[in-house]
């Protein structure tokens, strides 16, 4: 029998970072590596991009449908980002963590702050681009946004980078494999936190053995 009993609940992992920093790419790798992770599918009113899969990358709704959902209390958090709504549906999140599954929320900084108020024990990871030049390059290479939207996202990136100190961890996404390894290690380390210990099983006999060892009564070191 194990000496300690640890809390097996899943964690909520909030991942933010400027658009183009590589959040989606890193999360895809984490989901392949860690079968015990689940990515929450957000709802958005932004237009569908070529590489989007409705119901997989996002649930796409109109602005009016989104506002109706806000009124219905459908979201754990939501925010407006460069002119479009984005929100995290409440459903599934708490049942997943009860089942011991880690839930990843890929959300922008204001949404992350709202989650921090609601769930302070969540883990907050910020994905940082290696440089501003590289960020701009990646946004352009991705080819999913108009030049106007790229500049808008780029402007927001400066504000976002200034908020990094509100996170628990920062991972610079220079070499992809290294960044993935770091995020994976953070998730593993979080499972070892002492505040996950619920019970310690040391019976009287074991405590006595321990005392004897400490007092050096059991063994004679001079031999």
- The answer to whether residue 88 forms part of the interface with ligand ADP (CB under 6 A) is no
Determine which residue in the list 38, 66, 86, 167 makes contact with ligand 5GP, applying CB under 6 A. Answer: 86
23 touching ligand ADP, by CB under 6 A: yes
Q: What angle do CA 68, 87, 188 make, to 5 degrees?
A: 150
123-128: strand order across its sheet: 37-39, 102-106, 12-16, 123-128, 169-172
Among 116, 149, 181, 153, smallest CA distance to 21 is for 153
CB of 205 to ligand 5GP, least distance (A): 53
For position 106 contacting ligand 5GP by CB under 6 A, the verdict is yes
Which residue number, 24 or 89, has a Cβ lying nearer to ligand ADP?
A: 24
* Under 8 Å between Cβ of 41 and 107: no
Does the protein bind ligand ADP through residue 25 (CB under 6 A)? yes
Nearest distance from residue 151's CB to ligand ADP, in Å?
Answer: 15
**Sign of the torsion angle spanned by Cα atoms 88, 94, 99, 102:** positive
**Binding region for ligand 5GP (CB under 6 A):** 19, 42, 46, 77-79, 81, 86-88, 106-108, 111
């Amino acid at each position: 029998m194990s000496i300690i009993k640890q809390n097996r609940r899943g964690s909520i992992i909030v991942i933010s970072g400027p658009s183009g920093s590589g959040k989606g790419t890193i999360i895809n790798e984490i989901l392949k590596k860690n079968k015990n992770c689940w990515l929450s599918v957000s709802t958005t009113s932004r237009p569908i991009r070529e590489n989007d899969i409705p119901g997989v990358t996002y649930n796409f709704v109109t602005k009016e449908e989104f506002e109706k959902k806000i009124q219905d209390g459908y979201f754990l958090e939501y925010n407006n980002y460069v002119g479009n709504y984005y929100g995290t549906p409440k459903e599934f999140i708490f049942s997943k963590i009860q089942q011991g599954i880690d839930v990843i929320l890929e959300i922008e900084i204001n949404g992350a702050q709202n989650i921090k108020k609601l769930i302070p024990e969540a883990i907050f990871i910020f994905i940082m681009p290696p440089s501003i030049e590289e960020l701009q390059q990646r946004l352009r290479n991705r080819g999913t946004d108009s030049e106007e939207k790229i500049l808008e996202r780029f402007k927001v990136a400066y504000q976002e980078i200034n908020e990094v100190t509100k996170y628990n961890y920062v991972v610079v996404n220079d070499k992809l494999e290294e960044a993935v390894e770091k995020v994976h290690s953070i998730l593993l380390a979080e499972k070892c936190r002492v505040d996950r210990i619920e019970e310690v099983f040391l019976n009287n006999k074991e405590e006595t053995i321990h005392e004897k060892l400490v007092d050096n009564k059991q063994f004679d070191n001079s031999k």
